[in-house]
């Protein structure tokens, strides 16, 4: 019987019984074979449980916690972008001679989808399927055949065939289903012995293969399409490959070419041996994307065969999928919700959803306002940056400041965050880009902002993340990267296929130390249709003017000589707070860090932030430095505002630590704050204590006092603009042994809180 006599197949995720018609191809003369109907019901029952993994004694488990497949995938036709269901997909694939499933090797829903397609094809073709797999080689064929024939146990088979480490979670369901159905399984890939020889000996080793070894690789090597190699170069740049520098003479005998040739030939040979079957080949997505690579090698050897490719793409948010009608990744594209991955480098994993928080300021008025999406540097604080930009553009633009998703404690003991980890870099960049795009979508949907005037900008590590977002969305907004430092692991990120740009532009303001590598990056991006430009920058403060220009706002330059803000150290937080001070003071400011015995220039406009909490001048210089002491005097805190709060949800104690050099007059003012217990004005559950370094009531003494009173939650804050990491570690060391059983948070100083307090007059609404 021709397999196409069975035609339409039911969805493995749900049983769909349609009215009998000639075009359906399921029922003939109003009848359906009893055995086939029972099989359909059995598969529908298994699929409705949502199970996709295997266990000894069964093909699929029936765990109730896994959602049905139809709820965790969406399927689209590649050319039209039309959404279809599993039943429609399987019906179409059953009309093919060869189907190539392009997968992400570790994704759980991907493997469930592959299993559903195999089951559907077995039903639609009455078992006329050959399963071919990249995961097994020609050298494994004997072990495969013995296991399928029941001559060996599973453990022996897995040892002989050198199964991949994620076999149980990824491929066992396919093997066991094919075994039960009695269909052939083909190890399609290049034999490992041949791969090792050629990897060590190059093209010459290919000529020296023995007759037995030659069976493990394609008989004839056919060239891959130039478009395939261009995509390969873009993908592997930074991973031992050089972007756009491949040598055609080396391509044909490269391992990548041998893989594709061998797998393509294996599928062609399988079709020749089983002409009335569907060859179902499972491979990594790159090998068959766009019908190239392995799929192209098959087509060259079987030019009359009907072929289909299925790209299975894990995504974080199925609902957000907006398919491109011209997507060429496959004949069909399946988006699979990323829920879990199989075994890799010692661990399994499930996907844990987490929030990406952001702080939003929208000016009062009708708008629509331009929107700045700001990505702070690592080591900085998102709330301080939100205040800074509200002060800078608060009445002229909306601002969304994104928090770093992974909290960390910095060297100066304040809590900050980072965007990526070394071992999850690619996943972190991808998930951050998707979530940041959702931030833009949410703000533009619910706030009076102009979607045509959106700027994504960031500095340092935040700038690198802004640059990474440009790979996520060609239709995205403009991106501005300020002093991003070295390119780092972004150099490893692949570039997409060239397309005509449909919007957006990337501008990189790079320091001279890193200008060359960002120039090369911009050139690579421009070659695939991303307009990118690089400009030099000497100081991050220059980025403020660039943001104003990109948003279409008037520059904040006053025409006056820029003031200098001096810091005793250049920690990320000190620089951030200096930027916050500059925003509050208005005009232009540049930040300088003191080095060695250097002292700040006493020229007009100079401000030494580090000492402004105490005096109007430095005793070691004759001339006074312009000070902002009135703003930072203790009396400013008399209302309780401007003091960082303890970490507990139900209150606690703030301990302000006075430095040794505090003069008596200032000391009395700070002690008066404790006497008045000013934090009670903000919350009746928060108390205040003052510790004095170098005096009897120092930090250890105050901590002992609080413990004796039964208090256990506190925040310790030096009375500094921003203390150095060394000073903070010294404070922490001074209380070692006394902190047991206490919940202590540390803040390096008052600079951020006080400047944020002074910015509360900006017009804003949530």
**DSSP string for residues in 287-312:** HHGGG-THHHHHHHH-TTS-EEEEEE
Q: Model's pTM, two decimal places?
A: 0.78
Q: Give pLDDT, residue 538.
A: 85
Residue 459, SS3 per DSSP: strand
Question: Is the pLDDT higher at 604 or at 66?
Answer: 66
Distance from C-alpha of 762 to C-alpha of 396, rounded to nearest angstrom? 11
The answer to whether residue 19 scores a pLDDT higher than 60 is: no
Domain architecture of the chain: domains with CATH: 73-346 (3.40.50.11550), 358-551 (3.40.50.1820), 557-766 (3.40.50.1400)
Partners of residue 371 on adjacent β-strands:
398, 454
Q: Say how far residue 96 (Cα) sits from the centre of its chain.
A: 36
Mean model confidence pLDDT for the chain: 83
In 410-554, which ranges are E strands? 415-418, 449-459, 478-482, 506-510, 532-536
Distance from C-alpha of 500 to C-alpha of 488, rounded to nearest angstrom? 27
Distance from C-alpha of 268 to C-alpha of 303, rounded to nearest angstrom? 10
Question: Nearest Cα to 607, choosing from 583, 582, 586, 587?
Answer: 582
Partners of residue 361 on adjacent β-strands:
399
Question: Do residues 468 and 443 lie in contact, with contact meaning Cβ atoms separated by under 8 Å?
Answer: no
Handedness of CA 538, 539, 540, 546 (dihedral sign): negative
The arithmetic mean of pLDDT across residues 509-517, rounded, is: 94
- For residue 688, name the pLDDT band (cuts at 50, 70, 90): very high
Residue 640, SS3 per DSSP: coil
What percent of the chain stands above pLDDT 90?
52
C-alpha triplet 129, 46, 130: angle, nearest 5°: 10
- For residue 170, name the pLDDT band (cuts at 50, 70, 90): very high
The answer to whether residue 545 scores a pLDDT higher than 50 is: yes
Query: Nearest 5°: phi and psi at 400?
Result: -120, 115
Other residues' Cβ atoms within 10 Å of the Cβ of residue 662: 20
Other residues' Cβ atoms within 10 Å of the Cβ of residue 655: 23
- For residue 550, name the pLDDT band (cuts at 50, 70, 90): very high
Question: Is the pLDDT higher at 52 or at 177?
Answer: 177
The arithmetic mean of pLDDT across residues 119-145, rounded, is: 97
């Amino acid at each position: 019987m021709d397999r196409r006599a069975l035609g339409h197949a039911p969805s493995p995720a749900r049983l769909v019984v349609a009215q009998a018609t000639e075009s359906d191809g399921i029922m003939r003369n109003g009848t359906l074979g009893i055995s086939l109907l029972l099989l359909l019901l059995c598969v529908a029952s298994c699929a409705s449980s949502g199970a996709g993994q295997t266990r000894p004694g069964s093909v699929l488990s029936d765990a109730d916690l896994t959602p049905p497949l139809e709820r965790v995938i969406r399927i689209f036709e590649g050319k039209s972008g039309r959404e279809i269901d599993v039943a429609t997909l399987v019906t179409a694939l059953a009309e093919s001679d060869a189907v190539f499933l392009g997968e992400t090797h570790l994704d759980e829903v991907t493997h469930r989808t592959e299993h559903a397609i195999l089951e559907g094809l077995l039903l639609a073709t009455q078992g006329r399927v050959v399963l071919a797999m990249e995961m097994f080689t020609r050298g494994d064929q004997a072990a495969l055949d013995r296991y399928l024939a029941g001559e060996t146990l599973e453990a022996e088979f897995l040892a002989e065939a050198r199964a991949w480490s994620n076999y149980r979670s990824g491929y066992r369901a396919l093997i066991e289903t094919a075994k039960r159905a009695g269909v052939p399984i083909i190890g399609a890939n290049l034999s490992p012995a041949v791969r090792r020889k050629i990897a060590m000996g190059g093209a010459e080793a290919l000529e020296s293969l023995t007759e037995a070894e030659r069976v493990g690789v394609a008989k004839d090597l056919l060239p891959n399409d130039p478009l395939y190699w261009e995509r390969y170069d873009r993908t592997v740049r930074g991973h031992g490959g050089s972007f756009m520098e491949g040598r055609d003479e080396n391509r044909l005998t490269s391992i990548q070419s041998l893989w594709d040739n061998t797998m393509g030939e294996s599928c062609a040979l399988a079709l020749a041996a089983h002409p009335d079957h569907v060859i179902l080949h499972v491979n990594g997505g790159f090998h068959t994307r766009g019908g190239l690579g392995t799929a192209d090698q098959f087509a060259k050897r079987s030019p009359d065969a009907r072929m289909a490719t299925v790209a299975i793409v894990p995504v974080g948010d199925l609902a957000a999928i907006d398919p491109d009608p011209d997507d060429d990744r496959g004949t069909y594209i399946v988006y699979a919700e990323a829920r879990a991955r199989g075994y890799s480098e010692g661990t399994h994993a499930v996907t844990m959803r987490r929030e990406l928080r952001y702080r939003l300021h929208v000016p009062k008025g009708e708008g629509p306002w331009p929107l700045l999406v700001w990505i702070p540097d690592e080591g900085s604080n998102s709330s301080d940056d939100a205040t800074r930009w509200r002060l800078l553009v608060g009445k002229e633009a909306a601002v969304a400041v994104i928090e770093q998703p992974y909290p960390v404690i910095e060297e100066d003991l304040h809590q900050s965050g980072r965007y990526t980890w070394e071992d999850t870099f690619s996943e972190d960049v991808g998930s951050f880009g998707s979530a940041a795009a959702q931030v833009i979508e949410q703000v533009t949907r619910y706030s009076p902002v102009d979607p045509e005037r959106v700027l994504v900008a960031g500095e340092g590590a935040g700038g690198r993340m802004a640059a990474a977002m440009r790979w996520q969305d060609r239709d995205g907004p403009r991106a501005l990267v300020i002093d991003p430092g070295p390119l780092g692991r972004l150099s490893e990120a692949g570039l997409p296929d060239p397309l005509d740009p449909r919007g957006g532009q990337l501008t990189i303001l790079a320091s001279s130390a890193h200008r060359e590598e960002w120039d090369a990056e911009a050139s690579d991006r421009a070659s695939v249709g991303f307009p990118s430009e690089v400009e030099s920058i000497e100081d991050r403060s220059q980025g403020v003017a660039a943001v104003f220009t990109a948003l279409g706002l008037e520059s904040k330059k006053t025409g006056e000589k820029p003031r200098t803000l001096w810091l005793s150290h250049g920690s990320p937080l000190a620089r951030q707070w200096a930027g916050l001070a500059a925003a509050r003071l208005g005009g232009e400011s540049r930040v300088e860090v003191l080095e060695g015995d250097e002292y700040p220039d006493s020229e007009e406009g100079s401000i030494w932030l580090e000492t402004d909490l105490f005096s109007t001048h430095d005793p070691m210089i004759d001339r006074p430095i312009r000070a902002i002491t009135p703003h930072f005097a203790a009396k400013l805190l008399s209302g309780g505002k401007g003091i960082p709060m303890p970490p507990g949800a139900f209150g606690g104690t703030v301990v302000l630590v006075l430095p040794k050099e505090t003069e008596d007059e200032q000391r009395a003012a700070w002690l008066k704050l404790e006497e008045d217990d000013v934090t009670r004005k903000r919350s009746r559950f928060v108390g205040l204590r003052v510790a004095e370094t170098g005096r009897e009531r120092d930090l250890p003494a105050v901590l002992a006092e609080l413990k004796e009173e039964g208090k256990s939650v506190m925040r310790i804050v030096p009375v500094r603009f921003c203390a150095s990491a060394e000073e903070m570690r010294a404070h922490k060391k001074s209380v070692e042994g006394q902190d047991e059983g206490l919940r202590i948070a540390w803040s390096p100083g008052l600079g951020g809180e006080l400047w944020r307090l002074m910015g509360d007059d900006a017009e804003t609404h949530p």
